[in-house]
């Protein structure tokens, strides 16, 4: 699929993230009770496959803080080009793109940023190696 290299228009939402306090309890709920297929686990996060979308369930980052909110991930297989294009428009990313999963053929890269109200957004791209 071809995307506009400097825009999120037309890109599908690829992933939604939720935070939890107990990863084992969440695994039993999402996998065993709801029956969601568990794709993989990495660094305190679990990734479940839904139709056309991934659900990431991860441990809370700041213990004791209220659980809530979500993180929207935009499909960005062109993440290495899209990031600089969005930076040119004033987007300030939290960090450089990070590889969160590596296979023999591709890297899964993430790059997070915030909207003007502080809502968390991210680019997520499966990039050929």
pLDDT at res. 114: 86
Which residue carries 């899209």 as its tokens? 82
Give the span between the Cα atoms of 92 and 88, in whole angstroms. Answer: 9
Give the span between the Cα atoms of 32 and 122, in whole angstroms. Answer: 28
Q: Look at residue 63 and tell me whether its pLDDT is greater than 70.
A: no
Q: Residue ranges of the domains in the chain?
A: 13-128
Q: What mean pLDDT is predicted for residues 59-88?
A: 83
Tokens for 51, please give them.
């139709």
- DSSP element (H, E) containing 6: none
pLDDT at res. 43: 86
Q: Look at residue 64 and tell me whether its pLDDT is greater than 80.
A: no
Higher pLDDT, 42 or 69: 42
Q: pTM surpassing 0.85? A: no
pLDDT at res. 33: 84
78-125 residue pLDDT tens: 999 999 999 989 899 999 999 999 999 999 999 998 887 677 889 999
Give the span between the Cα atoms of 69 and 60, in whole angstroms. Answer: 11
pLDDT at res. 67: 67
32-51 residue pLDDT tens: 988 899 999 988 899 999 88
- CATH code of 13-128, in short, is 3.10.180.10
């Amino acid at each position: 699929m071809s995307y506009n290299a400097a825009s999120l228009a037309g890109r599908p939402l690829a992933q939604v993230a939720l935070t939890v306090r107990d990863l084992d309890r969440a695994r039993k709920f999402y996998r065993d009770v709801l029956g969601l297929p568990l794709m993989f686990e990495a660094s305190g996060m679990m990734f479940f496959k839904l139709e056309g979308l991934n659900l990431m369930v991860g441990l809370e980052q700041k213990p004791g803080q209220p659980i809530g909110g979500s993180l929207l991930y935009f499909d960005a297989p062109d993440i290495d080009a899209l990031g600089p294009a969005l930076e040119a428009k004033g987007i300030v990313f939290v960090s450089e793109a990070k590889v969160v999963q590596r296979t023999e053929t591709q890297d899964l890269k993430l790059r997070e940023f915030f909207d003007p109200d502080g809502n968390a957004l991210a680019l997520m791209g499966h990039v050929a190696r």
